[in-house]
A and B are shown apart, each in its own frame.
Chain A
Amino acid sequence: MSSIKRRIFLCLVGLLAGLAAWPAAETTLLFQADFPSYLIFSIFLGAVFGIFLGAFFGSGDGIIMSHRRSIISGVARGMVIGALGGAAGFFIGQAALFITGEYLIHSMKKFNTVGMPISRAIGWAFLGLFIGMVDGVRSGSWNKIKVGMIGGISGGFAGGLALEYFRIAFPGTVFARLLGLLIFGLFIGLFYGFVEVRLSYGVFTLLNGRFKGREFLINQKKIRIGALEKNDIRLEGYHNISDSHALVSVKKDDVFIAKAGVGSILVNDDPVDEHMLKYEDVIKIGSAKLLYQYK
Chain B
Amino acid sequence: MKTGKKALISAALVALLAPWTSSHGETIRISQIDPSMLLFRQDVKVYVSVTDKNGAPIRNIGKDKFTVFESADGDSFRPIPAIKDFQTMANYEDGIYFLLLIDNSGSMYLDMQQRLTRNQADMKFRHAKTAISTFLQSMTNPRDRVGLASYNSYYESFSSPISDKTRIESLLGQIRMPVGEEGHTEIYASLSRAVDEFRSVKGRKAILILSDGENRPFYTYTGKPHRDFGTKIYSYTEPIRDCQEEGISVFAINFGRGGERKDIHLKDIALQTGGAVFDAGDGSELALVYSKIVGQILNEYLITYSATMDPADKKYVKIRYAADDGPIQAVRFYFSSTVFGLPLKNFSLLLLLPFLLALVLLWLLSRIRFEKKKGVANIEVLNAGTARAVTKSFKLNKGQTIIGASRGADMTIMSGITQIEEKHATITFDNKKKKYTIAGDGDFKVNNKRVKSRVLEPGDVINVGGATIVFDDGEVD
CB distance from A189 to the nearest CB of B (A): 12
Chain B residues within 8 Å of A123, by CB = 339
Is B40 interfacial (CB 8 A cutoff)? yes
Over the window 341-354 of chain B, the binary record of Cβ atoms lying under 8 Å from chain A Cβ atoms (1 yes, 0 no) is 11111110001111
Residue in B40, B196, B333, B382 whose CB lies within 8 Å of A291: B382
- Asked, given contacts A29-B340, A163-B341, whether A280 binds B311 with beta carbons under 8 Å apart, the answer is no
Pick the interface stretch among A17-25, A218-226, A227-235, A257-265: A17-25
Whether A1 pairs with B338 at a CB distance below 8 angstroms is: no
Q: A79 to B357, alpha carbons, bound, how many Å?
A: 19
- Asked, given contacts A63-B365, A178-B354, whether A209 binds B460 with beta carbons under 8 Å apart, the answer is no
Whether B346 pairs with A174 at a CB distance below 8 angstroms is: yes
Is A170 interfacial (CB 8 A cutoff)? no
CB distance from B361 to the nearest CB of A (A): 6
Chain B residues within 8 Å of A42, by CB = 39, 338-339
| Beta-carbon nearest neighbor of A37 in chain B | B42
Is A139 interfacial (CB 8 A cutoff)? no
Q: A90 to B39, alpha carbons, bound, how many Å?
A: 11
Using a CB-CB cutoff of 8 Å, which residues 53-73 of chain A contact chain B?
A: 56, 59, 63, 66, 71
Chain A residues within 8 Å of B334, by CB = 102
Chain B residues within 8 Å of A211, by CB = 370-372
Using a CB-CB cutoff of 8 Å, which residues 268-286 of chain A contact chain B?
A: 268-269, 278, 280-282, 284
Is A246 interfacial (CB 8 A cutoff)? no
Interface centre among B337, B339, B463, B477 (most CB of A within 10 A): B339
Pick the interface stretch among A104-112, A141-149, A190-198, A247-255: A104-112
Using a CB-CB cutoff of 8 Å, which residues 461-476 of chain B contact chain A?
A: 461, 463, 468, 470, 472, 476
Q: A281 to B313, alpha carbons, bound, how many Å?
A: 59
Is B35 interfacial (CB 8 A cutoff)? yes
- Asked, given contacts A280-B461, A282-B459, whether A39 binds B343 with beta carbons under 8 Å apart, the answer is no
Whether A213 pairs with B372 at a CB distance below 8 angstroms is: yes
Q: A160 to B470, alpha carbons, bound, how many Å?
A: 46
CB distance from B448 to the nearest CB of A (A): 5
Over the window 198-224 of chain A, the binary record of Cβ atoms lying under 8 Å from chain B Cβ atoms (1 yes, 0 no) is 000000010111111110000000000
- Asked, given contacts A26-B344, A210-B372, whether A12 binds B309 with beta carbons under 8 Å apart, the answer is no
Chain A residues within 8 Å of B346, by CB = 174
- Asked, given contacts A71-B366, A163-B341, whether A105 binds B335 with beta carbons under 8 Å apart, the answer is yes
CB distance from A129 to the nearest CB of B (A): 12
Whether B371 pairs with A210 at a CB distance below 8 angstroms is: yes
Chain B residues within 8 Å of A214, by CB = 370
Chain A residues within 8 Å of B347, by CB = 26-27, 30
- Secondary structure call for the B interface: loop
Over the window 165-181 of chain A, the binary record of Cβ atoms lying under 8 Å from chain B Cβ atoms (1 yes, 0 no) is 00100001010011000
- Asked, given contacts A19-B354, A94-B338, A269-B447, whether A280 binds B468 with beta carbons under 8 Å apart, the answer is yes
Residue in A12, A19, A33 whose CB lies within 8 Å of B311: A33
Using a CB-CB cutoff of 8 Å, which residues 358-400 of chain B contact chain A?
A: 358-359, 361-362, 365-366, 369-372, 382-383
Report the interface size for chain B: residues with CB under 8 A from the other chain.
Answer: 66
Whether A289 pairs with B459 at a CB distance below 8 angstroms is: yes
Over the window 144-162 of chain B, the binary record of Cβ atoms lying under 8 Å from chain A Cβ atoms (1 yes, 0 no) is 0000000000000000000
CB distance from B352 to the nearest CB of A (A): 5
Chain A residues within 8 Å of B382, by CB = 205, 291
Whether A93 pairs with B339 at a CB distance below 8 angstroms is: yes
| Beta-carbon nearest neighbor of A104 in chain B | B335
Whether B354 pairs with A23 at a CB distance below 8 angstroms is: yes
Whether B342 pairs with A38 at a CB distance below 8 angstroms is: no
Whether A30 pairs with B343 at a CB distance below 8 angstroms is: yes
CB distance from B311 to the nearest CB of A (A): 5
Is A134 interfacial (CB 8 A cutoff)? no
Whether B343 pairs with A116 at a CB distance below 8 angstroms is: no
Using a CB-CB cutoff of 8 Å, which residues 4-48 of chain A contact chain B?
A: 5, 9, 12-13, 16-17, 19-20, 22-27, 29-30, 32-39, 41-42, 45
Whether A32 pairs with B311 at a CB distance below 8 angstroms is: yes
Whether B448 pairs with A281 at a CB distance below 8 angstroms is: yes
Cβ contacts A to B, 6 pairs, < 8 Å: A33-B310, A33-B311, A63-B366, A209-B372, A237-B477, A293-B383
Since A19-B355, A107-B201 are in contact, a sample of 4 more A-B pairs with Cβ atoms closer than 8 Å, ordered by chain A residue number, is: A27-B351, A32-B309, A38-B42, A38-B307
Report A's interface with B, CB cutoff 8 A: 1, 5, 9, 12-13, 16-17, 19-20, 22-27, 29-30, 32-39, 41-42, 45, 56, 59, 63, 66, 71, 90-91, 93-95, 97-99, 101-103, 105-109, 116, 119-120, 123-124, 127, 160, 163, 167, 172, 174, 177-178, 205, 207-214, 237, 239, 268-269, 278, 280-282, 284, 288-289, 291, 293
